[in-house]
């Protein structure tokens, strides 16, 4: 088992990566300081719950906790206020108290939803992330961003709220559908682009092992991604500056998800297109080399991810409206994270609308 | 104008108390660091909005801001998730961004609701409290507790989230209905009991001036209450210990509000009964003198507040169920804030159920 520390003072926590961790959840919770209360709730979705809720629940019972399982429908649609309210009502019915805690068992949707519920129930109770997708393990479970969607846009409501522990059980990835696994790689590749040229080169080299989900390689890669995220987040927990680099490819990516309706593109697919577009913008504005743009595009393609999108003019219009509603907009201006070279990005870059249109053409 | 500082490090802010402050709101916002964005939203209710929204909106426009006014129905029922969601949708429609801010214009309900909306919209945007009731000015607008109710209980959802500024305009109290004004005095008297015997004595002495709403006396009393709350909150922002003293009388008070349905008793009325009951519990467990119990009961009575409640056995049962759902319950045990003498309380006091029943009989 590998362990990565997220250093945030009193809000510090560990990310543990390895096999067989679901069965150890109760034991790991019992080690946390300060003591967690006895009552807890597992928030999961209809797909993940079927596979893993019993193992998690049993593990908690064995360590003396009293879990209740709350299952929400699988899919992005559960990331909404109505489902948040249903979770609250269940927590109240199960009499969760201030020392009680929540387990988020699932992918990004469950983590964001359950994290937001934990952040706001009784003005905040503890929670533990148990991410079961590659995307959630390397990205959404770490860093304390929680939230749900509004009709007007993705993640428009939420809180910065750190978990007490993140457990990444590699065994949960074994049954992950191929498309979802590949979508998770979009965030993995992102860490190479924004922070670590060596990681990027390793991904180019080891991609076939990764696609075969070889435990040793996966464990190393996931832990490295978590380390990078931990370092960026610890420098800028509330996203007032540098944390923005984690949004490389996300301005266009979120707009694609939003304007096409959640579900048509997976998040990883949308930000794959977004990252390639951002690489092209970087070439035109920051002199990112042709070679680097090619390597970026090529790696996403080899990972089986989309790198471009064909838009009707109505879709194009919708996409730009969605982009203007993004949280990263300030004073009506869209600001991008752009790359100087692989491994080095800058944030807060203004880009003329025409240029954005041209790279999406 | 009096100014009280709430010292919370990077989250510090000022409470300003005086006349004519609504018209100065824009100017006061413009003084804040870091700069607020141009777009903002005034969240108010149907009663307060009629009286003051225009003055507030005009003041903001004059200082170059672009406010939109969101009016929710007056009353505790608006403190719910459905209204929170409506507010989010309006903020998104008005394109509020991360640097935009919210003005909470109204009493405790509006402050708690708007504060929670601000705490969670885009994972938190700035907000300014403009409390227009005595209760909100001395209590709910200060300290960063925000939240809404669930069917299962009051304030079961929320966040600790500090405003950037609190403006208490004494002129808004002039039109406050008599019953609401008196209810606010329940929190004023509380500060005397929990923290400041001198304040308690001053209230005994100046009650008639206060009931006449004499500006000078009111200004002094309100500023003193805010000072006390600021001191308690700054020592324990997240209510892990001492802040609990602010809940004197609230365990029973909240249970009364909840089990009778919000609206039958005003919050101040319910905690008036709760404080007198807590004084009686204090007499039986901590040796609070008969004389102090009498002074407490007498002051609430002179302020025109209820000090006892007559319950049917069904109501009694409902009240105890509600008490067990209180956020302050830990490990199934109800803990009380109790008084040793006027001006000095202790928290975390376990009280046998039978004793609670006897003081409510």
**Closest CB to B120 among A88, A152, A159:** A159
Q: Provide the β-strand partners of residue B71.
A: B44
Task: Identify from A124, A157, A161 which residue to disrupt to test chain B contact, counting B C-beta atoms within 10 A and taking the largest count.
Answer: A157
Angle, CA of B342, B346 and B348, to the nearest 5°: 145
Cβ of residue A115 closer than 8 Å to a chain B Cβ = no
Q: Is A182 found in the same domain as A135?
A: no
Q: Is B158 found in the same domain as B187?
A: no
Task: Identify from B39, B115, B120 which residue to disrupt to test chain A contact, counting A C-beta atoms within 10 A and taking the largest count.
Answer: B120
Angle, CA of A233, A237 and A241, to the nearest 5°: 90
DSSP string, B248-282: TTHHHHHHHHHHH-BTTB-HHHHHHHHHHHHHHHH
Q: Which of A173, A205, A238 is the last residue of a domain?
A: A173
CA dihedral B2, B8, B12, B15 (to 10 degrees): -30
Cβ of residue B123 closer than 8 Å to a chain A Cβ = yes
Q: Is A134 found in the same domain as A195?
A: no
Q: Is A220 found in the same domain as A145?
A: no
In whole angstroms, give the CA distance from residue A155 to residue A322.
13
DSSP string, B79-134: SSHHHHHHHHHHHHHTT--TT-EEEEEESHHHHHHHHHHHHHBTT--EEEEEE-SH
Q: What is the CATH number of the domain that holds B25?
A: 3.40.50.1970
Q: How many domains does chain B have?
A: 2
The pLDDT tens digits for A237-252 are 888 888 999 999 999 9
Cβ of residue B330 closer than 8 Å to a chain A Cβ = yes
pLDDT at B106 over 80: yes
Cβ of residue B262 closer than 8 Å to a chain A Cβ = no
- Over the Cα atoms of chain B, what is R_g? 20
Q: Is B188 found in the same domain as B128?
A: no
The pLDDT tens digits for B139-177 are 999 999 999 999 888 889 999 999 999 999 999 999 999
In whole angstroms, give the CA distance from residue B232 to residue B243.
6
Q: For position A284, what pLDDT does the model report?
A: 95
Q: Which of A142, A173, A204 is the last residue of a domain?
A: A173
In whole angstroms, give the CA distance from residue B28 to residue B31.
5
pLDDT at A359 over 80: yes
Q: Residue A187: which domain range?
A: 178-360
pLDDT at B324 over 90: no
Q: Is A263 found in the same domain as A114?
A: no
In whole angstroms, give the CA distance from residue A111 to residue A167.
12
A296 three-state secondary structure: helix
Q: Is A164 found in the same domain as A224?
A: no
A103 closest CA partner among A41, A28, A26, A165:
A41
Cβ of residue B335 closer than 8 Å to a chain A Cβ = no
Q: Is B233 found in the same domain as B220?
A: yes
Stronger pLDDT, B257 or A277, i.e. the higher one: A277
* Under 8 Å between Cβ of B103 and B67: yes
The pLDDT tens digits for A46-84 are 999 999 999 999 999 999 999 999 999 999 899 999 999
For residue B229, give both structure tokens. Answer: 């709350």
* Under 8 Å between Cβ of A245 and A345: yes
The ipTM (two decimal places) reads 0.90
Q: Is B129 found in the same domain as B198?
A: no
Q: Is B183 found in the same domain as B163?
A: no
For residue B147, give both structure tokens. Answer: 């939240």
Q: Is B186 found in the same domain as B164?
A: no
Q: For position B5, what pLDDT does the model report?
A: 95
Q: Is B354 found in the same domain as B302?
A: yes
On chain B, the residues whose CB falls within 8 A of the CB of A119 are 159
How many CB pairs lie under 8 A apart between chains A and B? 108
* Under 8 Å between Cβ of B275 and B245: no
Q: B120 and A158: CB-CB below 8 Å?
A: yes
Q: Whole-prediction pTM value?
A: 0.91
Q: B124 and A331: CB-CB below 8 Å?
A: no
Please list, residue by residue across A273-287, b when 16 or more beta carbons sit within 10 angstroms of its beta carbon and e when fewer do.
bbbbbbbbbbbeeee
Nearest CA in chain A to B160: A123
Q: Which of A125, A146, A173 is the last residue of a domain?
A: A173
């Amino acid at each position: 088992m590998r362990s990565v520390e997220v250093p945030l003072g009193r809000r510090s926590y560990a990310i543990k990566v390895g096999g067989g961790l679901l069965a150890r959840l109760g034991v790991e919770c019992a080690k946390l300081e300060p003591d967690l209360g006895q009552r807890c709730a597992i928030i999961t979705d209809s797909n993940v719950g079927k596979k893993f809720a019993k193992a998690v629940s049993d593990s908690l019972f064995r360590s003396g906790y009293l879990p209740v399982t709350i299952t929400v429908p699988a899919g992005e649609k559960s990331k909404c206020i109505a489902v948040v309210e249903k979770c609250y009502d269940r927590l109240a019915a199960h009499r969760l108290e201030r020392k009680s805690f929540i387990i988020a068992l699932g992918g990004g949707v469950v983590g964001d939803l359950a994290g937001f519920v934990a952040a706001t129930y009784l003005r905040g109770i503890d929670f533990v992330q148990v991410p079961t997708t590659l995307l959630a393990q390397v990205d959404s479970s770490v860093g304390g961003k929680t939230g749900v969607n509004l009709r007007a846009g993705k993640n428009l409501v939420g809180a910065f709220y750190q978990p007490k522990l993140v457990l990444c059980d590699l065994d949960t990835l074994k049954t992950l559908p191929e498309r979802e696994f590949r979508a998770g790689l979009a965030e993995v590749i992102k860490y190479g682009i924004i922070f670590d040229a060596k990681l990027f080169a390793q991904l180019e080299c080891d991609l076939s092992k990764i696609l075969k989900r070889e435990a040793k390689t996966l464990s190393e890669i996931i832990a490295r991604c978590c380390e990078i995220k931990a370092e960026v987040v610890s420098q800028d927990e509330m996203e007032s500056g540098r944390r923005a680099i984690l949004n490389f490819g996300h301005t266009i990516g979120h707009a694609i998800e939003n304007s096409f309706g959640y579900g048509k593109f997976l998040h990883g697919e949308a930000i794959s297109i977004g990252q390639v577009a951002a690489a092209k913008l970087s070439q035109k504005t920051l002199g990112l080399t042709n070679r680097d743009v090619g390597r970026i595009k090529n790696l996403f393609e080899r990972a089986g991810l989309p790198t471009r999108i064909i838009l009707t003019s109505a879709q194009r219009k919708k996409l730009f409206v969605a982009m203007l509603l993004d949280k990263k907009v300030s004073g009506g201006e869209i600001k991008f994270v752009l790359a100087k070279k692989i491994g080095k990005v800058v944030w807060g870059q203004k880009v003329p609308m025409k240029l954005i249109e041209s790279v999406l053409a």
